[in-house]
Structure 1
Amino acid sequence: MPNEKVTGLARFYYATCYSMKGIRAAYSHEPAFRYEVFGALVLVPLSFWVAQTGMQLGLLIASCLLVLMAEVFNSAIEAVVDRAGLEMHELAGRAKDLGSAGVFFTLLMLVLIWGGIIWDNAQASM
């Protein structure tokens, strides 16, 4: 039987199943992802209290989701590099360091967004 591409709602269903499988794998195998999930579980509800506009709420929540997204990409890079071989190689180390840097930048962005919004809201209430 030829390998046919699934389309329509079935494609959406399977894509969602693969995404959930990836999230479970990240949570099961990546301690950093678990820490960031716990952080998001604190920050997302807090964002409803901090935000004064819908735009602020969206930015606060999006910054939390971007950290999780970057960690998933970083974990994917690490998994592929580890699958390729466990011996030390300059390019493997560079790939892992670059993935980690991506996570660092999203964490920095989260701090800047949260800090900026909290600062603006404090200035507005003075």
Structure 2
Amino acid sequence: MQPDSQPAKPPRFSGIEHFYRSCTYTAAGLKTACKEAAFRQELLLGLVAVPLSLLLPLNGILVLLLNLCWLAVLSCELLNTAIESVVDLASPAYHELAKRAKDLGSAAVGVALTALALCWAYAFWQTLA
């Protein structure tokens, strides 16, 4: 390949082939995420929190909210890991903007965890009331 030439675009898929490939990309992403300690900890949190939400005498909407908040934490952690990977690739040396990007990704996870904690505090308050 000559230096001025562009790499060929990957083929585009549709229908069931597109769906299948999307699923394999998702599985690969989740497998990669499971190598991250924070993601594994948040998965473990869900292994406790999801069954607990179903066992407590809670309104169905509150159960849904608790579990959606947990999924939001996982989503934020996935995005944070993606941001960190891209930043490490683009800026292997220390740079203030790279630090800012990583800090903002971490803050997003922190906000999602705070929302989850507040929802659980409300759920326990409802259970005790």
Q: What is the TM-score of this pair, normalised by structure 1?
A: 0.89
Displacement over 6 Å in runs of 4+: none
Displacement after TM superposition at 1:16 (Å): 1.1
Aligned to 1:56: 62
Residue in structure 2 matching 1:103, options 91, 109, 113: 109
Instruction: Indicate the larger mover: 48-57 or 13-22.
Output: 48-57
Aligned to 1:78: 84
Larger Rg: 2
Instruction: Indicate the larger mover: 99-108 or 79-88.
Output: 79-88
Task: Say how many residue pairs are matched.
Answer: 122
Q: Which runs of 5 or more structure 1 residues have no equivalent in the other structure? A: none
**Percent of pairs with identical residues:** 41
Q: Distance in 1 between matches of 2:57 and 2:112?
A: 20
Q: What is the TM-score of this pair, normalised by structure 2?
A: 0.87
Aligned to 2:39: 33
Displacement after TM superposition at 1:66 (Å): 0.8
Q: Which runs of 5 or more structure 2 residues have no equivalent in the other structure? A: 1-7
Q: Distance in 2 between matches of 1:40 and 1:87?
A: 35
* Structure holding more helix per residue: 1
